[in-house]
Structure 1
Amino acid sequence: MRLKISAATSRLAAGLAVAAITLGACRGFLEADKSVADPNNPTAAATNQLLVGASANLMGLEESSMAMIVCQWVQQCGGVGGRFVEQQAQYVGVNSDSFDATFSSLYTGGGLIQLREIQSRADKAGDKVTKGIAEVMEAMVIGFGADIWGDIPYREAAGDNPMPAFDPQMQIYDDLQGVLDKAITDLAGGGNGPGAADLFYGGDKAKWTELANTIKARLYLHTVEKLGNAQYAKAIAAAQKGISTPNNDFKDPHTDATTERNMWAQFQLSSFGQDLVAGKPLVDIMKAQDDPRLSEYFGKNPSGGYGGYDQALANTPPDQISPIAGSDRASNGGFSIPIVTFDENQLILAEASFVTSGASAAAPFLNRVRALHGKPAIGSPTLQDIMYEKYITTFENPEAWNDYKRTCLPSLRPALNKSAIPGRFYYGSTETQTNSNAPDDSGLNLFAMRNANDPNSCR
């Protein structure tokens, strides 16, 4: 099992993956009547308890400080204040220790090992629905890791090899397509499913099946730059069976209870919350389109309007910068953070249709999203129109970084005096120190490193 890789990895995951990464946002769920047993210890927890723990881990990955740095690197957010937030926005202080716990949580603390245990138990119990749900979550967790780090352990990661090999990123993407195909088949099978232990969809297998197809489409997009535009046709085929209505959006569930608020809201209440502000490129795009989501994303600046911090020039007057505090999302700790949505699915169809068939084929999908947000239709959209809409849609979502690396849209300038926007993160230090197969990238130039699916820098 992966637990054998290092005791340090196990301790980090158990202590940090759910508690620290989620900043407490999920602790309340783990205090429910049927979740009091240790959700990260397969020998001491029931299958549904394991699923709750794995769900909390997934929520932690999607809302972690990783997502906040991505928000800054694609300049949806800005960093000010002279402390660590501003430094990270300028690509400073990011090293192999920065996301050590995040890397570990791909496997332990509710990661791959736990998800495989859930699948094994569900299979033995004849509960194909629960097995399918865990398989979709596996694809999301490992896909998250492959998107960020490229080559990571996968095929040997949940076995008994204490030094699992690092599999090639493109192989992992292909493997995950197979996992998602299995999940779709299993979700159509028998079994009672997890019911209320499914924090996302309450055991609704139709919604999980749609999610699986949207994830398939998303992963196909992630291979376009390397494998070519033929991947767009595969993305279309999957997205056509993907999330069919906003009511089926995959969101992290939260409440206003102190321990269950979303991480973004909790961060705004911390001593560093005021350092994370609106980014100028996103605010400018939204203002130009009179997008009604401005107040959802950002508070008003001291001048009474909306503006963002220019990370490339680093000289925006303070009275022109909108905070994230005071926004509808930050003021509402119970806001459920969107992770995979109908909007994203439609915009996958728009991008793929534009490239394969032209503007007229893309327009219905783009305009369906714009109509939902009270914006006028665009008769003959450009790829920029599509990617601007997706840039808005994926606020606070790591998927925005994948979109930017693939399309280089919107056109962004690197942070002040930097040569490029980084394309990946360093591996966690615990992994590089305890797994002899781990590539040691700690001394490499952050701006020169790229993953296999993204061979070309935008700058």
Structure 2
Amino acid sequence: MKSHMLISIFVAGLLLVTGCTKDFDEINTNPNSSQQVDQPQLLLPAILKNSVRNYFYSSTTRGNIVGDYYANQYVSGFDNAWAPSEVQGYFLWDNFSQLRDVENLLVLSRKKQLQNFEGVGLVIKAWLFQVMTDIYGDIPFKEATGAKVNGVFLPVFDTQEDVYYGMLDMLKTANTLLTNGKDGLSGDIMLENKPLRWRMFANSLRLRLLMRISGKSNLKINVGTEINAIISDPVQFPIFTSHENQAAFTFLNDVGFEIPGFNDAPLNDIHLSVTMEKYLKALNDPRIGYYASPTPAGIRDGKKVFAGVPNGIAAGAEAVYNGGRDFQSSVSPALLPLASFPQASRTAAQGLLMTYAEVQFILAEARERGLISSGDAATYYANGIKDQFAYLAERIAGKFDYPKAADITPADSYYTQTGVAYTGTPAEKLNKIRIQKWFALFNNGFEGWSEWRRTGVPADIKTGPNSAITVWPRRARYPISEQRLNQQHYQEAVSRQGADDMLTRIWWDK
């Protein structure tokens, strides 16, 4: 109750900025916000609540589309929903407003010599930057929150390569601070005020970053050496050990603290994608009952029917596709608003920043590719699949008439079928790891999109016949405000990275 009260008091003062460089000082000197608070524990709950809710909503409504988990008639053509005017809110450029408050947390923590709070702040900072750079490529980084401290209102765009090295250094520093810190944490409404859990998040996030750049040559670091150092010393570098200690934000039944979108209008325009339908049905994967809702039309051969819609379909064609909306699957029961589903749950879904399953798939790939020399790829792979099933079953237990936990629990034969069993050539094994990882990144859709860009898996993600572009997007465009107000540095980034359009590949995607 105390943490809820703290959130209520301080959330009201946290401004969600609608422009990155709309007076870049506004991002750092909000007179109504966190700079007026002199205790880190009073800043932390609002930072966590705002940043995770913002990420959850964007990942559900846009990340799941670009990851091709869902299809949405309003993003099908990509010409409107990917326009610069929309990018800011939907594609998380407004993370800079959260970073302003994180910077205030860091300043206070250093001033008061609170190492644990500083470590937490660095982990959050690295995560927020990681989300943004993987969407856009080059972004303001070193100078991004410098208006208050050094009067930098129009920050330089750093190369994505430099952003990655900076984030990796941040996470190493955070692990050290959280190891040595003597100050007790409070106000941590996500990871239970436990420094160890933040260390697990920091080192697990390092694994994500290292795997993402593992295909690049001429790096300043050796990816295999870095990953080996982490997994060979779990005391110094702890990582997630199950879904019980992964980085997940639990929403509440309290009004205003439930899953974002719970009180929205009926959800009629987002559907299961045909790509997701195809891959789940090919494996007879029961998670389809969590990822999507059965079609309203009912049951076929004694089983609930699930049917997807292709991305890139025109709005008029979407309305009649496969016989119309009675024959199309809507989104997960755990994500439906009350207006769409009488049994809608305020708490079934969590805000997932990073999961144990993702870590296991990272290690499975690293072992299969020879990046690491310890552990067993098949074991890592199986751990990732089984834990994700267990996690989903726990989240829905007792919440719905359908699905129940038993409905999404696989039979033993699931693991022995050709498409799942860890057999085949090295290339076939890698493909299986990446498909299962894509499944597990559902509702962490921006990460699923990043993995597709990195690996090309699933291989048949593509635009539909009515799409405004013929190639699936590789990045989002910068906001119009950035082009207008930070023009010099914007132009420098574009001349270096490539045209500011959806098909330009970012650094690790080249």
TM-score by length of structure 2 reads: 0.74
- SS class of match (1:263): coil
Matched letter for residue 346 of structure 2: G
Counterpart CA distance in 2 for 1:237 and 1:317 is 55
Which residue in the other structure is 1:234 paired with?
A: 226
Counterpart CA distance in 2 for 1:207 and 1:292 is 31
Which residue in the other structure is 1:393 paired with?
A: 440
Q: Is the 8 A contact 1:306 1:321 kept in 2?
A: yes
Structure 1 residues 431 and 385: alpha-carbon distance in aligned structure 2, compared to 1, 3 A threshold: same
Question: Once the 2 structures are TM-superposed, how far is the Cα of residue 44 of structure 1 from its aligned partner?
Answer: 2.2
Structure 1 residues 236 and 413: alpha-carbon distance in aligned structure 2, compared to 1, 3 A threshold: farther
Gaps of 5+ in 1: 1-27, 80-85
Question: Once the 2 structures are TM-superposed, how far is the Cα of residue 239 of structure 1 from its aligned partner?
Answer: 5.8
Q: Is the 8 A contact 1:218 1:235 kept in 2?
A: no
Q: Give CA deviations for 1:260-308 in whole Å, capped at 9, x if unaligned.
A: 2212545xx424x210111122122222323332222211112431121
Which residue in the other structure is 2:281 paired with?
A: 287
Alignment of 1:169-188 (within 5 A): 169-188=160-179
Question: Once the 2 structures are TM-superposed, how far is the Cα of residue 36 of structure 1 from its aligned partner?
Answer: 6.5
Counterpart CA distance in 1 for 2:251 and 2:434 is 29
Q: Give CA deviations for 1:197-218 in whole Å, capped at 9, x if unaligned.
A: 1111121111110110111011
Moved more, 200-209 or 429-438: 429-438
Q: Percent identity?
A: 19
Which residue in the other structure is 1:38 paired with?
A: 13
Counterpart CA distance in 2 for 1:57 and 1:33 is 12
Structure 1 residues 361 and 263: alpha-carbon distance in aligned structure 2, compared to 1, 3 A threshold: same
Q: Give CA deviations for 1:143-201 in whole Å, capped at 9, x if unaligned.
A: 11111111111111222211110000010000110000110000012233332x11111
2:345 corresponds, among 329, 332, 338, to 332
Q: Is the 8 A contact 2:133 2:139 kept in 1?
A: yes
Question: Once the 2 structures are TM-superposed, how far is the Cα of residue 66 of structure 1 from its aligned partner?
Answer: 5.2
Question: Once the 2 structures are TM-superposed, how far is the Cα of residue 32 of structure 1 from its aligned partner?
Answer: 4.1
Alignment of 1:95-244 (within 5 A): 95-101=83-89, 104-108=93-97, 111-159=98-146, 160-195=151-186, 197-227=187-217, 231-232=223-224, 234-235=226-227, 237-238=229-230, 241-244=238-241
2:67 corresponds, among 69, 74, 79, to 74
Q: Give CA deviations for 1:305-346 in whole Å, capped at 9, x if unaligned.
A: 112112266644434421116x24432221213221110110
Counterpart CA distance in 1 for 2:423 and 2:226 is 24
Q: Is the 8 A contact 2:478 2:500 kept in 1?
A: no
Which residue in the other structure is 1:321 paired with?
A: 328
Which residue in the other structure is 2:463 paired with?
A: 414
Structure 1 residues 237 and 58: alpha-carbon distance in aligned structure 2, compared to 1, 3 A threshold: farther
Question: Once the 2 structures are TM-superposed, how far is the Cα of residue 452 of structure 1 from its aligned partner?
Answer: 1.4
Which residue in the other structure is 2:367 paired with?
A: 353
Q: Is the 8 A contact 1:415 1:421 kept in 2?
A: no
1:380 corresponds, among 411, 423, 441, to 423
Q: Give CA deviations for 1:394-449 in whole Å, capped at 9, x if unaligned.
A: 111121011000011011122325321101101122222211334256x9573432
Moved more, 411-420 or 132-141: 411-420
- SS class of match (1:338): strand
Moved more, 36-45 or 360-369: 36-45
Structure 1 residues 249 and 358: alpha-carbon distance in aligned structure 2, compared to 1, 3 A threshold: closer
Q: Is the 8 A contact 2:58 2:92 kept in 1?
A: no
Residues 1:436 and 2:484 aligned together: no
Matched letter for residue 486 of structure 2: N
Question: Once the 2 structures are TM-superposed, how far is the Cα of residue 388 of structure 1 from its aligned partner?
Answer: 1.1
Question: Once the 2 structures are TM-superposed, how far is the Cα of residue 33 of structure 1 from its aligned partner?
Answer: 6.2
Structure 1 residues 68 and 232: alpha-carbon distance in aligned structure 2, compared to 1, 3 A threshold: farther
- SS class of match (1:89): coil
Structure 1 residues 361 and 258: alpha-carbon distance in aligned structure 2, compared to 1, 3 A threshold: same
Question: Once the 2 structures are TM-superposed, how far is the Cα of residue 365 of structure 1 from its aligned partner?
Answer: 0.7
Moved more, 253-262 or 96-105: 96-105
Counterpart CA distance in 1 for 2:486 and 2:11 is 33
TM-score by length of structure 1 reads: 0.82
Counterpart CA distance in 1 for 2:329 and 2:140 is 41
- SS class of match (1:406): helix
Which residue in the other structure is 2:28 paired with?
A: none
Matched letter for residue 119 of structure 1: L
Q: Is the 8 A contact 1:152 1:168 kept in 2?
A: yes
Structure 1 residues 31 and 99: alpha-carbon distance in aligned structure 2, compared to 1, 3 A threshold: farther
Which residue in the other structure is 2:393 paired with?
A: none
Moved more, 332-341 or 62-71: 62-71
Matched letter for residue 107 of structure 1: F
Q: CA RMSD in A?
A: 2.9
Task: Give the length in aligned residue pairs.
Answer: 415
Question: Once the 2 structures are TM-superposed, how far is the Cα of residue 390 of structure 1 from its aligned partner?
Answer: 0.8
Q: Give CA deviations for 1:114-150 in whole Å, capped at 9, x if unaligned.
A: 2122122112222211110110000001111111111
Q: Is the 8 A contact 1:127 1:192 kept in 2?
A: yes
Q: Is the 8 A contact 1:424 1:449 kept in 2?
A: yes
Structure 1 residues 29 and 408: alpha-carbon distance in aligned structure 2, compared to 1, 3 A threshold: farther
Counterpart CA distance in 2 for 1:227 and 1:29 is 47
Question: Once the 2 structures are TM-superposed, how far is the Cα of residue 232 of structure 1 from its aligned partner?
Answer: 5.0
Structure 1 residues 118 and 328: alpha-carbon distance in aligned structure 2, compared to 1, 3 A threshold: closer
Which residue in the other structure is 2:382 paired with?
A: 367
